[in-house]
Amino acid sequence: MAAELHQTIFMAKQERHKNLFLNYKNLSMFPVELLKDEGLQFLERLYMKRNSLTTLPDNLAQKLPNLIELYLHSNNIVIIPEAIGNLARLQSLDLSNNALQLLCPEIGRLRSLRHLRLSNNQLKCLPPEIGDLQDLETLDVAVNQLASLPERLHRCPSLQNLTADHNLLSHVPRQLCWLRRLNQLSMAANRLTFLPLDLGRSRELQFVFVDNNVNLKGLPSYLYNKVIGCSGCGVSSFVAERDMGEALGEALAGLPAEVKVIGSQADNVVPLEELALRTLHRLYHRRPAGLSLPPPISLPKSLLDLLQFPLGHCHRCSQAMFTTVYPKLFPLRDTALAGVHRRTTVSFVAYCCSSHCLRTFNLQG
């Protein structure tokens, strides 16, 4: 085996190969032949899945400076060295099915990285520096022990596919709703209890999988007409038999705590605080670009932040909402999606700005 390995690497060096296949070689150490002399300067793709590696060499970037893809699926890698950040051309890194407990912040220096696969490890957190990966399109962190995702992920403008199934996530950072290119979000089998109201507002987001989050109540109605996986979430199937008020109460349990619901169908007046914020919001968004608000409207930062990113928008009239929403529940079996998904235990919750919009909002219309 050793002689065969030596020969393979010797040939690759001699003939300036761009691809090297070292899968299933029973390697417990990174082959020294790859790192001798000036290394393999021409190598672009290295395949080393299903070996027994436990770490990577410090001088990897020095000896294999032109690596574009590195496949290390199914080894026993516990730690990757900080020097990984020097692989300036690396676009694809697969570390799935290893024994990683920590990921070094230097991963954020891989500025060419487009696909990062970390599923089936033992990660408890991700470094916020992942948010520095401007070209990142795929991030797979399924089957780890993550309790949260870094909020800075929203700084990855190219992210299209985020998979975080089978973790311990209790919430989806609201900032992820701002990822304009996100097409698929998969968070099945976590501990989600609610989803951000804005989730699905982006047209690009077409696939949302939140199956097996047993305490998840309802779904933002922006997800209506998108492909959703949601068995094991949502309000109970007895909704129709019970009075609507009780069902609403159950749906509301899934709303973020900061949403102060005081609206009901009987309310005709929107609270003063909400009206003030909506008025300021209109003013703030009509002003010429680049101008700050005139002195009478200098606001504390918390209010400015709220103005910038409302809790949601009325599903009927698109009015921004800040402190109050009027929720309306649509059991899935009453919608067009019932036939598509054959799951009837889920309800869509629409959010309206006023009792008027609440009365007139209809999913079919």
CB of 318 to Zn ion, least distance (A): 7
Token digits of residue 292: 């700050």
Is the Cβ–Cβ distance between 182 and 311 less than 8 Å? no
Would you say the C-alpha torsion 149, 151, 156, 157 has a positive or negative sign?
Answer: positive
Would you say the C-alpha torsion 256, 353, 200, 277 has a positive or negative sign?
Answer: negative
Q: Which of 68, 26, 66 is nearest to 50 (CA)?
A: 26
Residue whose CB is less far from Zn ion, 72 or 270: 270
> How far is CA 306 from each of CA 194, 202, 234, 314, rounded to the nearest angstrom?
20, 19, 28, 16
CB of 175 to Zn ion, least distance (A): 25
- HSE-up of residue 212 (Cα within 13 Å, Cβ side): 10
CB of 297 to Zn ion, least distance (A): 24
CB of 357 to Zn ion, least distance (A): 3
Residue whose CB is less far from Zn ion, 154 or 316: 316
Residue 60 φ then ψ, to 5°: -55, -50
Residue whose CB is less far from Zn ion, 167 or 324: 324
Residue 316 φ then ψ, to 5°: -95, -45
CB of 265 to Zn ion, least distance (A): 14
CB of 274 to Zn ion, least distance (A): 12
Residue whose CB is less far from Zn ion, 189 or 357: 357
Residue 228 φ then ψ, to 5°: -125, 145
According to DSSP, residue 296 is labeled G
Q: Give the list of residues 6+ apart from residue 285 with CB closer than 8 angstroms, or none.
A: none
Residue whose CB is less far from Zn ion, 80 or 357: 357
CB of 23 to Zn ion, least distance (A): 57
CB of 128 to Zn ion, least distance (A): 36
Residue whose CB is less far from Zn ion, 70 or 197: 197
d(CA 196, CA 220): 7
3 state SS of 336: coil
According to DSSP, residue 291 is labeled P
Q: Give the list of residues 6+ apart from residue 55 with CB closer than 8 angstroms, or none.
A: 30, 77, 78, 79, 80, 81
Residue whose CB is less far from Zn ion, 275 or 340: 275
Beta strand 326-331 with 347-352 is antiparallel
Residue whose CB is less far from Zn ion, 14 or 268: 268
According to DSSP, residue 47 is labeled E
Residue whose CB is less far from Zn ion, 230 or 350: 350
Residues that bind Zn ion (CB under 5 A): 314, 316-317, 319, 353, 357
CB of 365 to Zn ion, least distance (A): 14
